[in-house]
Amino acid sequence: MATVAPSPKSTIVSFNLATGRSNFAVPLLVHVHAFTFFGWVALYVTQNTLVAAGQVRLHRQLGLLSLAWIPAMTGLGLAMTFHSLRAVGGPFFFDMNEFLFGNSLGIIAFAVTASWALVVRQRADWHRRLMCCAMISLTGPGFGRLLPMPLMIPWSWWIAAVVAPGIFWVIGMAADKRRLGRVHPAWLWGFGLLFCSQLLADAIAYSPVGISITRQVVAGTPGAERPMQAIPLGPLTTP
């Protein structure tokens, strides 16, 4: 009797459910956030499929959804950051202040990159690369769930948010170099926006003002019970 092997994605989901890192008993905000961000992935894949099939007109019409989707993702990303911090202090393997400002400025960097891609949509070479950069900038949370983050403290945030996603930038630039003989500047701008957003985030997060703001955000909530610094052996549940 033939058996079907579980996909890597289903295995990851099952593992997170079994260990308590994920569950469905969460506030409505979490479900709306998940639906919206997954919807962006579906839209991105669909748009690339349409272009590959030569359906440029439909691609442009469907792309109008981005005008509403990008602001929605930005608002939900910020809301989820605050919810996670207040509920449990954020992922235990990140410093609370770095998570607050890194996540917030990271989603803003995504919005800026994606919006820029829409502005220059008549220039296909820039448009498709900038949109790819925007998509790459969203992969940090995925790497944060796949990699052994507690073993990477104190560099967990940078590894998940910048270093690991950087693999995709390297692939894109290498493909340009092979086909065109040069690297398109859109890749450098896209990576630069994310990188600089995280430098700025750290500069704010570790300043007296940043630490004070973080404490105010979690004041009077369960999240205030954990230390500001990352916890090597923390709880498994993170909303």
Q: In order along the chain (239 residues), what is the average pLDDT of each group of 10 residues? A: 38 46 74 94 95 93 94 96 96 96 97 97 96 96 93 96 96 95 96 98 98 97 95 61
3-state SS, residue 228: coil
Q: Report the C-alpha gap between 137 and 152 in whole angstroms.
A: 20
Residue 200 CB coordination number (10 Å): 14
Backbone φ, ψ for residue 92 (5° rounding)? -65, -20
pTM: 0.86
pLDDT, residue 238, reads 47
DSSP state of 54: T
Residue 64 is predicted with a pLDDT of 92
pLDDT at 12: 42
The answer to whether the Cα torsion of 160, 73, 69, 146 is positive or negative is positive
CA–CA distance, 122 with 183 (Å, rounded to integer): 20
